[in-house]
Amino acid sequence: MKFGFRGHPQRFAIVAAVGVELMRSIATLFLATLVFGCNREPELPQILRDKGDQAGKVWLVCGPPHGKSLDNAIHNKRIVARLNSQFPPGSPASRLDAELARQGFELHTCQDEPTIRNAKYSWKSYGGGLSLITYKVNSENRIEWVTGVSQNTVE
């Protein structure tokens, strides 16, 4: 059995056309991966972007740890600065609640301390991660303090 295209120009044309289309598909896939696949972070809510340096040692879920100050809570400096700028102490907590819900956070009120609320945002793409915004409100539903942290599972 002989393989070849001598005397069979139609076979050669078909095989060549299939080869060209295959190479074009591979090149398109490669370019799409370069353009869209090199981003190492998912599309995060606006409030979590450009998070800045991290400080603190203790995760703050439902208030400062017993005997600890708010400064000991793990937080990202730029996230906290952004939160304090947009939602300063004394501003209505309903505005912060609405904005966090709009950006896809899950809102919770702490059972043991109903004046403290947190909003969780997690993602699974690019190794996954978790963000937590925690804030305290007064009896008039106004913000007393707010803090936030965002961490990728895989750095």
What pLDDT digit, counting tens, does each position of 89-147 carry? 999 999 999 999 999 999 999 888 888 898 998 888 766 778 888 899 999 999 999 98
- Tell me: pLDDT of 68 over 80: no
pLDDT at res. 55: 60
- 12-44 per-position pLDDT tens digit: 566 566 555 766 766 555 544 444 454 455 576
Say if residue 9's pLDDT is above 50.
yes
pLDDT at residue 142, rounded to an integer: 97
Of 81 and 9, which is predicted with more confidence? Answer: 81
Single pTM value for the model: 0.64
The pLDDT, as a whole number, for residue 105 is 92
Per-domain residue ranges of the chain = 1-38, 46-152
What pLDDT shows up at residue 123?
80
Give the DSSP letter string of 30-97.
HHHHHHHS---S----GGGSS---EE-SB--SSSSPTT--GGGB-EEHHHHHHHHHHS-TTSBHHHHH
DSSP per-residue string spanning 94-114? HHHHHHHHHTTPEEEE-SS-T
Residue 98 pLDDT: 96
